Amino acid sequence: MKLPNVPFTVTDWDSVPKEEYPGEKGTSFWQVFQSEGMRVRMVEYSPGYYSDHFCPRGHVLLVLDGEVFIKLKDGQEFRMTPGMSFQAGNDEENPHLAYSNTGCRVFIVD
């Protein structure tokens, strides 16, 4: 990963406001730090959350709490629990989406 010219920054996530993003089902709440082409997010998915789209953007996602499923457009699915991560580059051919039956909290860099 080549990070753009981002200065050393400390983020106090408790002071970052939450923004609501509804899914096809349920909702997500994002806290976002963004700087020069890099986005870092703390995201909470509600119980029953199901994304409203497949995403082709590359991500590094770490599960902090709960359980999330990542579904690829080709049909593969991956159950992820705390301490698990996935890493994916930009992929227009086989994008991914997230859903959570129980709710979860994840940390994402993209």
Residue 20 is classified by DSSP as: E
Q: Is residue 60 part of a domain?
A: yes
In which band, very low, low, confident or very high, does the pLDDT at 36 lie, cut at 50, 70 and 90? confident
Q: Out of 35-39, 77-81, 93-97, pick the least confident.
A: 35-39
Q: What is the mean pLDDT of residues 91-106?
A: 95
Number of domains in the chain: 1
Domain that holds residue 66: 18-109
Please name the residues in contact with 8: beta carbons below 8 A apart, sequence gap of 6 or more: none
3-state secondary structure of 86: strand
At residue 93, φ and ψ (nearest 5 deg) are -80, -35
How many other C-beta atoms are found inside a 10 Å radius of the C-beta of residue 73?
Answer: 15
Q: What is the mean pLDDT of residues 90-100?
A: 94
CATH of residue 54's domain is 2.60.120.10
Q: Is residue 3 part of a domain?
A: no
Amino acid symbol at 105: R
